[in-house]
Chains A and B, each alone.
Chain A
Amino acid sequence: DTGVSQDPRHKITKRGQNVTFRCDPISEHNRLYWYRQTLGQGPEFLTYFQNEAQLEKSRLLSDRFSAERPKGSFSTLEIQRTEQGDSAMYLCASSSGTVTTASTDTQYFGPGTRLTVL
């Protein structure tokens, strides 16, 4: 059973450019989560999907951020018009939970995509 994978692992971009990250969850995991981690901090929740439905979005997710999970498999996180403050590690996690089993859920994380905005 392969783990959560993320692509790319590193991304360097110039301010104002758009970037897109991809996350492939553990096979058959229903839930997929995005977190952001800045230097010296713990991960902060951004959004999550139950299958293809985006059920919750954090206030951290500004209008420049959009996430999708078509067909309930892989997910993409796009940042438009990047700013230097967007520089961070973007972590994806997946879990097998459903609405009724969420209390016993464990999130498994991928290696992250490190974004640097120049």
Chain B
Amino acid sequence: AQKVTQAQTEISVVEKEDVTLDCVYETRDTTYYLFWYKQPPSGELVFLIRRNSFDEQNEISGRYSWNFQKSTSSFNFTITASQVVDSAVYFCALSGRNSGYSTLTFGKGTMLLVSP
């Protein structure tokens, strides 16, 4: 069975602060993929990143960065210099080889509120 835990239900920050969203996962698959999606108030899930289990290099994309640590089964997401437009619910998700990579298992999400 697969499980994704996002322990932070809601985080509030002031604009320009850095913020880290935590994600811890459980899987028996040896090959798997991790994802982050953003869900703004409009409701549409927006794809942010996919990372495979063999690639532990950190990734940076603009103000976004991701830290994948297989030893702790974590895939954390950091937003640097947060902006009001970053306010959304962020979901971490997992797909594994045993399910043919066909299904995503999501965490419950972290609501990020960035105030001016």
Q: Is A40 an interface residue (CB 8 A)?
A: yes
* Contact A103/B102 with A42-B91, A42-B93, A109-B37 known, Cβ cut-off 8 Å: no
Residues of chain B lying within 8 A (CB to CB) of residue A41? 108-109
Binary per-residue interface labels of chain B (40-53) against chain A in the complex, 1 for a CB within 8 Å, 0 otherwise: 00111111001010
| B42 close to A45 (CB less than 8 A) | no
Distance to closest chain B CB from A93 (angstroms): 8
* Contact A108/B47 with A42-B106, A42-B109 known, Cβ cut-off 8 Å: yes
Residues of chain B lying within 8 A (CB to CB) of residue A43? 45, 91, 104, 106
A45 to B95, CA, bound (A): 11
Chain B residue, CB-CB nearest to A41: B108
Q: Is B64 an interface residue (CB 8 A)?
A: no
Residues of chain B lying within 8 A (CB to CB) of residue A108? 47
B positions within 8 Å CB-CB of A: 4, 31, 33, 35, 37, 42-47, 50, 52, 91, 93, 95, 97, 99-109
A-B residue pairs, 3 tightest by C-beta? A42-B106, A109-B45, A102-B101
